Amino acid sequence: AGLEDGALPALEFLAVGANRFGARGAGALCGVFHRGVAPTLQTLNVGATPIGDEGAVALAAALAMGKPSHGLTLYCCDVGDE
């Protein structure tokens, strides 16, 4: 089950801020991007979601692969400064 590759071909903006899915959820979300479910994703908002450093690492890996391609909203996410 789950979303197949290219399942959301027109998705450009995804706002999942103010949730409680944490680092594990951030990793799962990034896994979806790696599978190509949202090939046109440009902007992701995860603000006010406590993803911590582990979730930030997962997001960094997704950014390195070009997803999202234009913007990431990341504030109040319990991420350290290193």
Model confidence band, residue 82 (pLDDT cutoffs 50, 70, 90): low
Q: How large is the greatest C-alpha to C-alpha distance in the chain, in angstroms?
A: 37
Q: What torsion do the CA atoms of 24, 27, 16, 68 make, to the nearest 10 degrees?
A: 170
Nearest CA to 47 among 65, 71, 82? 71
**H/E element holding 32?**
helix 22-34
Confidence of residue 4 (pLDDT cuts 50, 70, 90): confident
29-51 pLDDT, tens digit per residue, is: 998 888 899 999 999 999 999 99
Contact call for residues 51 and 79 (beta carbons, < 8 A): yes
Q: Which residue has the higher pLDDT, 42 or 1?
A: 42
Q: 68-77 pLDDT, tens per residue?
A: 999 999 999 9
- Check: CB of residue 51 under 8 Å from CB of residue 22: yes
